[in-house]
Amino acid sequence: MAFIVMILGILNLFLPFILRINLMNAYGVWYLYYFFGAFIPCVLYFMGSLKTSFDFILDLDSYYYGFICIFIAFTISTFFCLPFRKKRIHKEKIKITTLGLDIISIASIFFFLIYFSVSIWAYGGFLNFIESSYSRVRTNNSIVNFVSIFMWGSVVFSIISYYAMKEISLSKRLKFQIYIAILCGLIISLMAGGRAVLAFYLFALLTKYILTQKKYKVFLIGIATSLVFFIASYFIIYYRFYVQSQGNIAIDDLDSTEALNGLVFVDHIMLSIKYASIKGFDYGAVYLNSFISFLPRGIFEDKATALAFQMRGFAFGDETAGVPPGLFGEAYIAIGIWGVILISIIYGRFLYVTTVIYNNAIENNCNIRFAILGIIIPLFGFLLVRIGIDLGFLRIGMPLFFCWLGSKIISLKYR
């Protein structure tokens, strides 16, 4: 069994090169995430040096089946991210108007003010808001969960404003307004309490530069970015643990490997397999619950607890935080291996969409499509796999909605 698992994992490393898949899009991020989050842990497991947070509850079958599930998911999604027809889907360049850019940048600042004002009020003060954000402890405050919509509106519109300002002549007033919007987006990404939003925002601002470079430069940029991410991650994780321990941890107590906390995802799939073996399949209930996750509990009192919190309760006996099963873990909990196969097919087509957008951005030198790429590449390549639909309906759905809305507003003209 171990030999078969390793062969599947190794073959997947060469699969995109055999199929000549372009890695300069969300698939490239998915490939890296698979390598570091699943393949390397697999190698470490068979070397006897893999440690996960769930070792006390997992059995041998969970480990083996977890690796097999993710290897199957990667293979299927790789084949289904290929085009089904040779003809390219071509779209015209998205036009940018001064009116549209003015509206987008003002909206970004407005959303920023709403997000911070309501959050500070809900948490009872600025410091409480920051500490709660970094501690990542579950909150049952529906207002806080709902107001995250404005956070994504501010971030996405500031990114679109940044790319749009490069194409048209602007007044000093509008330039200053856009710079304020970008600053608002950066502040949100620093204070959101996690590494993902910060990495997401910086990548989005650099997307066009990265995707138009030669491959060896992209490699060097990737190494430099990884180092910066590791250092920033170290201090963010330290502060999170510091807050969670109520100040009873020193920075010397934090192992450097904790900076990579969250990058390994195959262990969450293993836990999902163990969860389903005891609790049984939910036959898609997680997806139905996610569609109403944005409704305040005061309106919908019978709203189910997110699966991530149920998983935490299953593993550790409390629901103070979340353990997301991820895209493939929740699919397994739904209907087993068939759920993994089905969601892998759908995920592969999502990856193909990013290839279409990439081709049109390059061919037309379309800044707005580069902005959209900067947003959806980390969302599809990393975040969707990590948190799944369970937690991703708002966290991924909202950025996609604001991408669509921003691409429409940016072309508005005076009547």
pLDDT mean over 356-360: 87
Residue 286 or 55, more confident = 286
Q: How many domains does the chain have?
A: 2
The predicted structure's pLDDT at residue 155: 92
Residue ending a domain, choose from 298, 314, 345: 345
Integer CA distances (angstroms), 224 to 24, 31, 121, 203, 410, in order: 17, 19, 39, 12, 33
- Please indicate, yes or no, if residue 45 is contained in any of the structural domains: yes
Identify which of 233, 268, 354, 335 has the alpha carbon closest to the alpha carbon of residue 241: 233
pLDDT of residue 138: 54
Quote the mean pLDDT of the chain.
79
Write down the residue that tokens 């620093």 correspond to.
Answer: 190
Share of the chain above pLDDT 90, in %: 22
Same domain, 316 and 387: no
pLDDT band at 332 (very low <50, low <70, confident <90, very high): very high
Same domain? For 372 and 325 the reply is no
Indicate whether 104 and 237 sit together in one domain. Answer: yes
| 369 in the same domain as 235 | yes
Q: What is the pLDDT of residue 92?
A: 76
pLDDT at 231: 63
What letter would DSSP give residue 143? H
Q: What is the pLDDT of residue 257?
A: 46
Same domain, 293 and 329: yes
pLDDT (0 to 100) of residue 390: 82
Residue 93 lies in a domain: no
- Give the pTM: 0.84
- For the cut 60, the answer to whether the pLDDT of residue 261 exceeds it is no
Mean pLDDT (whole number) for 106-117: 92
pLDDT for 348 = 94
Asked whether residue 355 is assigned to any structural domain, the reply reads no
Q: Indicate whether 167 and 111 sit together in one domain.
A: yes
Residue 239 pLDDT greater than 60, yes or no: no
Same domain, 189 and 114: yes
Establish if 17 belongs to a structural domain: yes
List the Cα angle 357/226/403 in 5-degree steps: 30
| Comparison of pLDDT for 368 and 305, the residue scoring more | 368
Each residue of 125-169: pLDDT tens digit?
A: 777 666 666 555 555 555 666 778 888 899 999 999 999 998 888
Residue 383 and residue 321 share a domain: no
User: Residue 223: what pLDDT?
Assistant: 60
Q: Is residue 74 part of a domain?
A: yes
Residues 129 and 213 in one domain: yes
The answer to whether position 189 is within a domain reads: yes
pLDDT at 299: 62
Average pLDDT over residues 332-336: 90
Whole-number pLDDT of residue 414: 55
Among residues of the chain, what percentage have pLDDT more than 70? 76
pLDDT digits (tens, 9 = 90+) for 394-408: 888 889 999 999 999
371 pLDDT above the threshold of 80: yes
Are residues 327 and 180 part of one domain?
no
Q: Are residues 10 and 150 in the same domain?
A: no
Asked if residue 91 belongs to a domain, the reply is: no
Residues 320 and 400 both lie in one domain: no
C-alpha separations of 105 from 60, 95, 96, 150, 163 in Å: 53, 16, 13, 14, 11
How many other CB atoms sit within 10 Å of the CB of residue 258? 15
178 neighbors 162 (Cβ within 8 angstroms): yes
- Sign of the CA dihedral with 186 first, then 169, 402, and 230 last: negative
Please give the pLDDT value at position 67: 86
pLDDT of residue 174: 92
Q: Domain of residue 115: give its range.
A: 98-241+365-409
Most confident region among 27-41, 49-63, 170-184, 384-398 by mean pLDDT = 170-184
Residue 327 contacts residue 385 (beta carbons within 8 Å)? yes
Q: Tens of pLDDT along 173-225?
A: 999 999 999 999 888 887 765 566 777 888 888 888 888 776 656 656 666 66
**Domain stops at, among 295, 313, 345:** 345
Residue 352 resides in a domain:
no
At 264-321, the pLDDT tens digits run: 778 888 888 888 888 888 888 888 777 766 666 666 666 667 788 888 888 877 766 6
- Whole-angstrom distance, CA of residue 93 vs CA of residue 85: 23
Using the structure block, give the residue that is written with the tokens 């049952």: 140
Kindly tell me if the per-residue pLDDT of 357 is higher than 80.
yes
Please report the pLDDT score of residue 251 as a whole number.
47
Residue 256 has a pLDDT of: 47
